[in-house]
């Protein structure tokens, strides 16, 4: 399986099979992929104890790493006996993001998988915790996993945007749907596609020094019809059945979150583009949805990231 795709799991520093652990194992089996489990440990309590007894820090750290390694090896051997190709990397480091970036650059994985780390939205926006840093800077797709009763996703929803028609945005839509359809096929999951038409954002973006866009009913209806046709064409190109296409109107992040939650989807596939200032960060639907993630989220990156 040396030429098979690679998945990377960022494992919890705790000795437990978290939702992301189970998801990564299940995906490796379903996709026939190699799995690298990366455990980046750093227990602050041990560092604090080391301040009072510097000589004991190395022993405490080594004992912690030894116990974690032994537990990981036990889990891995169980999965290897089922035919999975799994390797383990265990490090003690404070620089978690940098180590993950090095790992991604070296392995070039098809996907990075990690348990979602829930924090208040403003703290996330301004202190850039690990999830946020990965969402913005990791070059490969990132799946942030929430608790679920299913190791593999069984009902997926891909959210696309036709807000702008630049080549970059259209390519990102295609990339989202290629990733979603491929993963759904491997997992035997049901895939739906959602587009939320946001008239307010479109109207605002069309404003000029001479005034806003026309607001006549005929113009709005024509614009909605054009977006519906574009959405139908996009879905048809990727083989999405009509009954699984959902065209809605409203505020994107609110509608996406509510639709995913109300219809019991267990994986939301979205795209994200490069950021240009705080206003771009706060306006990015993928990031806003992730703040109140209704289910696991797979974030596909634009080609320029």
What average pLDDT does the chain have? 83
Residue 300: which of 128, 107, 146, 161 has the closest Cα?
Answer: 161
More confident residue, 263 or 3: 263
Please identify which residue in the block is written with the tokens 């035997």.
188
Question: pLDDT tens across 255-292, in order?
Answer: 999 999 999 999 999 988 765 443 343 336 666 677 77
Facing residues of 113 across strands?
9, 143
Give the mean model confidence (pLDDT) for residues 45-61: 64
Residue 213 confidence (pLDDT)? 55
Question: pLDDT tens across 11-32, in order?
Answer: 988 889 999 999 999 999 999 9
Residue 194: which of 164, 170, 173, 175 has the closest Cα?
Answer: 173
Domains of the chain, start order: 6-115 (3.40.50.620), 155-301 (3.40.50.620)
Give the mean model confidence (pLDDT) for residues 185-189: 97
Give the mean model confidence (pLDDT) for residues 52-69: 77
The two tokens of residue 305 are 């990231």
Residue 284: which of 265, 263, 270, 267 has the closest Cα?
Answer: 270
């Amino acid at each position: 399986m040396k030429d098979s795709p690679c998945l990377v799991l960022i494992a919890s520093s705790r000795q437990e099979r978290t939702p992301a652990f189970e998801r990564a194992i299940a995906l490796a089996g379903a996709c026939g992929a190699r799995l690298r489990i990366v455990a980046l440990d750093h227990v602050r309590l041990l560092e604090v104890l080391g301040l009072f007894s510097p000589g004991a820090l190395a022993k405490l750290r080594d004992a912690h790493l030894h116990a974690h390694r032994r537990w990981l090896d036990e889990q891995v051997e169980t999965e290897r006996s089922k035919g999975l190709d799994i390797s383990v990397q265990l490090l003690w480091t404070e620089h978690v993001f940098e180590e993950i970036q090095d790992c991604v650059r070296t392995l070039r994985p098809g996907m990075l998988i990690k348990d979602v780390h829930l924090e208040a939205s403003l703290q996330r926006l301004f202190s850039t915790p690990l999830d946020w840093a990965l969402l913005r800077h990791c070059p490969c797709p990132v799946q942030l996993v929430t608790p679920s009763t299913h190791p593999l996703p069984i009902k997926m929803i891909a959210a696309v945007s036709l807000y702008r028609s630049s080549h970059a945005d259209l390519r990102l839509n295609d990339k989202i749907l290629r990733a979603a359809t491929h993963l759904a096929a491997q997992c035997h999951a049901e895939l739906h596609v959602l587009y939320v038409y946001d008239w307010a954002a479109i109207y605002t973006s069309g404003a000029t020094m001479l005034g806003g866009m026309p607001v006549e009913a005929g113009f709005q209806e024509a614009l909605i019809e054009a977006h519906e046709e574009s959405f139908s064409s996009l879905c048809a190109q990727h083989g999405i059945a009509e009954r699984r296409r959902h065209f809605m109107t409203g505020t994107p992040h609110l509608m996406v979150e509510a639709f995913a939650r109300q219809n019991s989807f267990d994986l939301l596939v979205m795209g994200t583009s490069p950021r240009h200032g705080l206003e771009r960060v706060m306006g990015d639907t993928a990031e806003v949805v992730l703040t109140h993630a209704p289910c696991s989220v797979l974030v596909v990156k634009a080609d320029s990231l």
